[in-house]
Amino acid sequence: MARRFGLPHSREGNVGAPCDVRLTSRVAEYNDLDGLAPRWRPHWTVAPVWTWWTLSSAAARATLTEVLTAEAFAGMVAVADRFAAGVRSIVDSHRLPWSVSRLGARVEYRFADPAPRTGGEAAAAADPELEDYLHVYLANRGVLLTPFHNMSLMSPATTDGDVDRHRVVLDAAVAELGDR
């Protein structure tokens, strides 16, 4: 964008400060999604917000039309089923008091059985040391989970190999805990 429209000066005259409305209007006209730019231009007072609105709207449209298709979602759900089954097999084989839940392409395992149903139950089931151990153990072996709980989202690019890698590494992490 900067190449096409130049680097703007803010109202204070400093290069690199937030974009001015003039540049935002040009960006909006260039990336106009639904003919909104001319109608909205007079109301744009916080230029960076509107610039990002245009960009995020274009990204959302591309994601919904090109990435999250019915075919891609079916593949994501199939991989999520495999992921959940792998975690359940570890929970069962090690007789862990954990639960596994899957919603669409999202899989989470919690240190409670049955799964927490309320925020209070989730807080009571929290085990920060165990969670930290699993996150560090898995990360050191190339497997990442969300940083604030044990959840994974399957993407269209997630493979059976990725899921199998998680299962093998998680099983090893749990086995090492049992050895102590």
| Residue range 21-30, pLDDT digits in tens | 444 455 555 5
Q: In the listed set 67, 87, 106, which residue is the last one of a domain according to the structure?
A: 67
Range of the domain at 151: 70-178
Instruction: Judge if 170 and 89 occupy the same domain.
Output: yes
Residue 102, classed as helix, strand or coil, is strand
Q: Are 159 and 85 in contact (CB under 8 A)?
A: no
Together in a domain, 20 and 90: no
CA 115 to CA 98: how far, in whole Å?
8
- Cis omega (within 30 of 0) on the bond before 18? no
| Claim: this prediction has a pTM higher than 0.85 | no
Type of residue numbered 148: F
**What are the tens digits of pLDDT across the range 161-176?**
999 999 999 999 999 9
Write the CB contacts of 154 (distance below 8 Å, at least 6 apart in sequence): 76, 77, 79, 80, 83, 105, 106, 107, 163
